[in-house]
Amino acid sequence: MNAKTLYWLIRREFWEHRGGFIWAPVITGIVFLVLNLMGIIGGEVFGSRNGFHFGPLEGQDLAAKIHSLDGHQLQEVGSALDLAMLSSSGLISVVFAFVVFFYCLGALYDDRRDRSILFWKSLPISDSATVLSKVIAAVLIAPIAVVICGVLTGIVMLLMFAIALSFHGVGVWSLLVLAHPFQVVGFLIASIPLYLLWALPTVGWLMLCSSWARAKPFLWAVVIPVALGVMISWFNLLGSAGFKSSWYWREIVARVLFSVFPGGWLRDSNFNHLGDNPESFNHFLSLSASYAVLAKPDVWIGAAAGIAMLAGAVWFRRWRDDS
Amino acid sequence: MNAVVTANGLSKRYKNTLALDNVSFQIPAGRIVGLIGPNGAGKTTALKAILGLTDFQGQLNVLGLDPRTQRDKLMEEVCFIADVAVLPRWIRVHEAIDFVANIHPRFNRAKCEAFLARTKLTSNQRVRQMSKGMIVQLHLALVMAIDAKLLVLDEPTLGLDILYRKQFYQNLLEDYFDENKTIIVTTHQVEEIEHILTDLMFIRDGRIVLNTDMEAMGERFAEVMVSADMAATARQLKPLDERQVFGKSIFLFDGVDQAQLKTLGEIRRPSVSDLFVATMKGTYA
């Protein structure tokens, strides 16, 4: 396996999945912007019908009000803007997570079903390189595309609001300076390695099912962990408390099926009131909270299990003989 | 004589059928071998074993490598068209060329493009927009541009019209094959490849029932057209097969002295398909 082969294998994934990896985030971003634009226009129309106005017409000048804000309030405004920027990435990454989920399920199955695996296998490519390229495409390169889309969408959204407000004579450009776009971008990019580690158990499990199932990998991937969970819950109900079903649902089922959703590692952290408190938001953006999960063994155990399942996927890729 | 493929006691069992039953054979370099057998005889299993696509019992050596453990290395020297139309449907012509050019160390891009220039394929076309014949043209262009030592073709022209089929084998002979290359091909359209084969292998129920080169086949087997009055004499020589045409009998003999046969009537070299039908008598019964 060399770097050039790996590069072309990853490019191949993007040729095949251009729709999911590139167009899905772009279209989600556009939809997000259109919804915002509709909101702005709706607000304008509603406002003018009801004689409700922003800006200089409204007794107190909003611009003057901004000048009167103290340091703490300015910080709050900045954090709100950062959060607004992040929200666009949030929506895109939910869509992206679905894309990655189904990508992983099909990655080692679709070409067995349409038999094009026989073409790929006629080339000097090792099965481990094939699987590795698919993992890298899903949890490293595709998230970068998502971050780029998310940031661009966020910036365009802020500009839209700025322009809308400037029609009312409110100079919000000075407010925009309060936002920390670079910090937001840095936060998103720095979250990618964490995402990779966090998503490994799900990616590993889905690809294992994808390489192993003779039919319907989705069904197997979902039915096996859920059926086990139902069994365990049932035993719990019967009163044998040797094994807690709640632990199983949370640490096994959620980890093998839903860890492709970004930010799952924050489930233990307390970030419920981000918008209220700029300090807590800055703490959030500083990544120390995110990276704190690396201190706990859960992430590492999950990643190791994910890698073990990927090794299984490589083995099935090599020896599954059904096309 | 250096063998490209050496199989020794090759066996493969699927759940309840024996696909290959202790098969041994050798394929020397620079040959075009036709592996011919009825459906389910074990042809594809044999090819899959050679290509390292399936596990098996016994010994198999392909170009000095074990296809089970050294497959990645083997695939630099071996190429195959496993079946018609297995190219991924989403890929475009230029993507396929770019990919193979950058993945395969022995790929000659100019040769591939020159070959494609003779077809109607355009560089931006997707496989899903092509006819079956065009897909095979693309696949063949990719494969012929690879300087491999062994090319394996499993039913490469199934379902193509006669123009594509003829062109396929013509291209293969004129632009690809030389004394350093070896081709193994399976097909049911025996008549069409008969003239390009140098060697013949019949496989039935997982066993090789005939393994000969074409010259030896002409010496060993003979077809004689015998008039009705000599037919009884001919039958005493234990023919493989007998059929009636225009009131005369055509006998197929295996290993009977040709001088002796000449006294019975006109001798011809049997066609591969006639020989095949005679050898496989009772397969599906």
Q: B83–A115: do the CB atoms touch at under 8 Å? A: yes
Q: B104–A124: do the CB atoms touch at under 8 Å? A: yes
In which residue are the tokens 């039953």 written?
Answer: B21
Instruction: List chain A residues with CB under 8 Å of B54.
Output: 321
Q: B139–A4: do the CB atoms touch at under 8 Å? A: no
User: Residue B1: is its pLDDT beyond 70?
Assistant: no
User: Residue A93: is its pLDDT beyond 60?
Assistant: yes
| Stated pTM of the model | 0.89
Q: A319–B86: do the CB atoms touch at under 8 Å? A: no
Minimum distance, in Å, between the CA of residue A152 and any CA atom of chain B: 29
User: Residue A64: is its pLDDT beyond 70?
Assistant: no
Q: B100–A15: do the CB atoms touch at under 8 Å? A: no
Instruction: Pick the closest to residue A13 from B135, B85, B72, B88 (CA basis).
Output: B88
Which residue in chain B has the smallest CA separation from A19?
B90
- B1 or A99, which is more confident? A99
Phi/psi-derived region of residue B85, left when phi > 0, alpha when psi is between -120 and 50, beta in every other case: left
Question: Mean pLDDT, chain A, as a whole number?
Answer: 86
Q: Where are the domains of chain A?
A: 3-319
Distance in Å from the first CA to the final CA of chain A:
25
**Residue A287: band (very low, low, confident or very high) from pLDDT cuts 50, 70, 90:** confident
**Residue A59: band (very low, low, confident or very high) from pLDDT cuts 50, 70, 90:** very low
| pLDDT tens, position by position, A151-162 | 899 889 888 888
Out of A54-58, A76-80, A114-118, A305-309, give the one with best mean pLDDT: A305-309
Cα separation values, B95 from A210, B125, B164, Å: 25, 10, 24
Cα separation values, A243 from A121, A224, A299, Å: 44, 18, 21
**Residue A61: band (very low, low, confident or very high) from pLDDT cuts 50, 70, 90:** low
Minimum distance, in Å, between the CA of residue A108 and any CA atom of chain B: 13
ipTM, two decimals, is: 0.91
User: Residue A285: CB partners within 8 Å, gap ≥ 6?
Assistant: A82, A180, A183, A184, A187
Minimum distance, in Å, between the CA of residue A106 and any CA atom of chain B: 14
- B84-111 mean pLDDT: 93
User: Residue A57: is its pLDDT beyond 50?
Assistant: no
Minimum distance, in Å, between the CA of residue B78 and any CA atom of chain A: 8
* pLDDT at residue number A205: 97
Q: B87–A119: do the CB atoms touch at under 8 Å? A: yes
| pLDDT tens, position by position, B238-284 | 888 888 888 888 999 988 888 888 888 888 889 998 899 888 887 77
Instruction: Pick the closest to residue B206 from B3, B24, B4 (CA basis).
Output: B24
Residue A73: how many other CB atoms lie within 10 Å: 12
Instruction: List chain A residues with CB under 8 Å of B76.
Output: 124
Q: B55–A12: do the CB atoms touch at under 8 Å? A: no
Which residue in chain A has the smallest CA separation from B77?
A124
Q: What is d(CA A175, CA B44) in angstroms, rounded to the nearest whole number?
A: 71
- A46 or A196, which is more confident? A196
User: Residue A33: CB partners within 8 Å, gap ≥ 6?
Assistant: A153, A156, A157, A160
Instruction: Pick the closest to residue B5 from B21, B29, B41 (CA basis).
Output: B29
Cα separation values, A180 from A80, A154, A286, B127, Å: 10, 12, 12, 47
Minimum distance, in Å, between the CA of residue B253 and any CA atom of chain A: 40
Q: Alpha-carbon torsion B163, B165, B166, B172, what sign?
A: positive
Option in B86, B99, B103 nearest A124 (CB): B103
Instruction: List chain B residues with CB under 8 Å of A5.
Output: 102-103
